[in-house]
């Protein structure tokens, strides 16, 4: 295998710049006082502080989990700063007051938030370190009754909604990182789509870590009321730094009767350098509850960044006839490690789930698929289809698959397919013999491998995803 082929997938990280902006950072360390300070900065009501403190007290008693197939040195939770915000806090409805440096930053990242440059049909919430700096198209969305704002704002403006659903899918004591997030989360997005409304545009949040030695702990909550439909996109990046940075997010989705939520992620946190120095530890809890009859939650993720990824977006299929989907492409290069997959918990009758996972390992990357499909007693006629494919590029990387299946109802139908392939010299030669360059040949092969997942992404993101993998646009004729 020529190193040229590997180099093709190992694209240099293009988002590693630092924005020189004065920020207000809370001194490193975590205590009840720090949590109260964060809460106070956010102007939160008392119940929120209490919830955070409950989470913190639980977290203190919890051990850091180490069952994942990843290796890293101890994390010093007292060395992390839990709050960083650009000074000169903008007023939310006026972009005139947003620091031009911030606008410039997001523009450089391809996320224009200035009015005249906005992407048509995509509303964006831009989160910089610990705060949301701007949310576009809010008024337009409001006309349809759709609430799309920073979660810190939602806690103040829509406390009843937030209180009803926050922690209802991922409880504050769910796991070590979720508990930490519950204690210290700073910002993130809140979406509420009312009954019967089809959200008129794609909603999107872009997360940017900028400050050094900080962690990012965002929290996203999306509630789709009965018969509604929403598609949400999430993107992220961070500067190149030698030290590891922690990102521990929680995403909760709630779909009521016949509601549909489509959640897409392009995760491109800084992955560290070739020797494995620096990079983001991406320890994330994402879960959706299909609470209503015939509801549907679909996760699509393209994971190319982070030094370590620990992430299992799952679906709890409570409502009868509800549907859960998970489509994933995870790429590990250099010394990146990913342990990712999904959990599908079937509770209701006739619930269905689909899992399509594509792992690509190059360099010394280690890629693990870990998935749980659980069919509970009452889940009559539940069905699951799982497909896990791994592709190896070079001979120093690894691919691992850990499927867990737990079936407690004999009417369930389960299918599991798995494959491992190597980008072969013969494949490359075949494409070259037709006149394609080695780079185009690899792009094509990798792109073809990921196609089933890419086709699930909204158009704008599909293009971004392919580009991220160093892939020229497939634009298939067929």
Partner 1 sequence: MTGKGKRETGNVLLEVRDLHATVEGREILRGIDLTVRTGEVHAIMGPNGSGKSTLAQVLAGHPAYAVTAGQVLYEGKDLLAMAPEARAREGVFLAFQYPVAIRGITNAYFLRSAVNAIRKHRGEEELGPVEFMDELEEKLKAIGWDSSYLTRPVNDGFSGGEKKRNEILQLAVLDPRLAILDETDSGLDIDALKTVAHTVDKLRRPDNATVLVTHYYRILTHIRPDFVHVLADGRIVKSGGKELALELEEKGYDWLREAAPVT
Contacting positions for partner 1 (CB under 8 A): 424-427, 429-438, 440, 444-445, 447-452, 474-478
132 touches 106 (CB < 8 A): no
Question: If you count DSSP H runs as helices and E runs as strands, how many of each does the chain have, helices first?
Answer: 11, 23
As measured in angstroms, the least distance from the Cβ of 402 to partner 1 is 24
Nearer to partner 1, 104 or 425 (CB): 425
Nearer to partner 1, 266 or 445 (CB): 445
Closest residue by Cα to residue 383 from 413, 356, 340, 362: 413
Q: Which residue has the tokens 């979406």?
A: 191
CA 219 – CA 60 distance, rounded (Å): 20
> What length is written for the chain?
478
As measured in angstroms, the least distance from the Cβ of 426 to partner 1 is 5
Nearer to partner 1, 164 or 437 (CB): 437
Q: What is the DSSP string of 242-282?
A: SSEEEE--EEEEEE-TT-EEEEEEEE------TT--SEEEE
Nearer to partner 1, 3 or 476 (CB): 476
- For 37, 59, 158, the CA distances from 48, given in Å and listed in that order, are 12, 16, 13
Nearer to partner 1, 120 or 477 (CB): 477
Q: Where are the beta strands (DSSP E) in 136-228?
A: 147-150, 189-193, 202-208, 219-224
Q: Which residue has the tokens 């499927």?
A: 403
Nearer to partner 1, 103 or 468 (CB): 468
Closest residue by Cα to residue 205 from 247, 236, 181: 236
Helices (H), 46-149: 46-61, 100-108, 138-143
As a whole number of Å, the end-to-end CA separation of the chain is 31
HEC sequence for 176-200: HHHHHHHHHCCCCEEEEECCCCECC
Helix, strand, or coil here: 464? helix
As measured in angstroms, the least distance from the Cβ of 429 to partner 1 is 6
CA 336 – CA 447 distance, rounded (Å): 20
Nearer to partner 1, 78 or 433 (CB): 433
As measured in angstroms, the least distance from the Cβ of 438 to partner 1 is 8
Q: Which residue has the tokens 């997938």?
A: 9
Nearer to partner 1, 380 or 440 (CB): 440
Report, in angstroms and rounded to the nearest whole number, the Rg of the chain calculated over CA atoms: 22
> Any idea what DSSP says for residue 170?
S
As measured in angstroms, the least distance from the Cβ of 419 to partner 1 is 10
As measured in angstroms, the least distance from the Cβ of 450 to partner 1 is 7
Nearer to partner 1, 322 or 447 (CB): 447
As measured in angstroms, the least distance from the Cβ of 130 to partner 1 is 40
As measured in angstroms, the least distance from the Cβ of 9 to partner 1 is 16
As measured in angstroms, the least distance from the Cβ of 272 to partner 1 is 29
């Amino acid at each position: 295998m020529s190193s040229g082929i590997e180099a093709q997938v190992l694209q240099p990280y293009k988002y590693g710049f630092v924005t020189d902006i004065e920020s207000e950072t809370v001194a490193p360390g975590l205590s009840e006082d720090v949590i109260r300070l964060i809460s106070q900065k956010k102007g939160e009501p008392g119940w929120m502080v209490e919830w955070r403190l409950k989470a913190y007290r639980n977290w203190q008693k919890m051990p850091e989990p180490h069952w994942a197939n990843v290796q890293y040195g101890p994390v010093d939770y007292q060395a992390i700063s839990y709050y960083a915000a650009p000074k000169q806090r903008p007023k939310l409805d006026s972009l005139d007051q947003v620091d031009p440096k911030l606008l410039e930053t997001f523009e450089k990242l391809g996320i224009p938030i200035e009015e005249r440059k906005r992407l048509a049909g995509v509303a964006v919430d831009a989160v910089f370190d610990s705060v949301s700096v701007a949310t576009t198209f809010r008024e337009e969305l409001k006309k349809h009754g759709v609430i799309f704002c920073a979660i810190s704002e939602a806690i103040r403006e829509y406390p009843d909604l937030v209180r009803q659903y926050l922690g209802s899918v991922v409880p504050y004591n769910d796991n070590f990182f979720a508990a930490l997030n519950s204690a210290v989360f700073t910002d993130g997005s809140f979406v509420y789509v009312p009954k019967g409304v089809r959200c008129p545009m794609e909603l999107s949040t872009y997360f940017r870590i900028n400050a050094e030695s900080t962690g990012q702990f965002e929290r996203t909550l999306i509630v789709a009321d009965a018969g509604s439909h929403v598609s949400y996109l999430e993107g992220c990046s961070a500067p190149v730094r030698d030290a590891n940075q922690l990102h521990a997010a929680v995403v909760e989705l709630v779909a009521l009767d016949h509601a549909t939520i489509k959640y897409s992620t392009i995760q491109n946190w800084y992955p560290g350098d070739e020797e494995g120095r620096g990079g983001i530890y991406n320890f994330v809890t994402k879960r959706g509850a299909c609470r209503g009859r015939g509801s549907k939650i679909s996760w699509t993720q393209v994971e190319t960044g982070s030094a370590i990824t620990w992430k299992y977006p799952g679906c709890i299929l409570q409502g009868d006839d509800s549907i859960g989907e998970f489509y994933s492409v995870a790429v590990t290069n250099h010394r990146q490690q990913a342990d990712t997959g999904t959990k599908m918990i079937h509770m209701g009758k006739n619930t269905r789930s689909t899992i399509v996972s594509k792992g690509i390992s190059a360099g010394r990357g280690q890629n693990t698929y870990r998935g749980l499909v659980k069919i509970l007693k009452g889940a009559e006629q539940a069905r699951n289809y799982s497909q896990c494919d791994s592709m190896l590029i070079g001979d120093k990387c690894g691919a691992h698959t850990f499927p867990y299946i737990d079936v407690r109802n004999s009417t369930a139908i389960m299918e599991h397919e798995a494959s491992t392939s190597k980008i072969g010299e013969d494949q490359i030669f075949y494409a070259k013999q037709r006149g394609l360059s080695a780079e185009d040949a690899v792009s094509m092969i990798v792109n073809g491998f990921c196609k089933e997942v890419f086709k699930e992404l909204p158009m704008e993101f599909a293009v971004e995803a392919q580009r991220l993998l160093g892939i020229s646009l497939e634009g298939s004729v067929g």
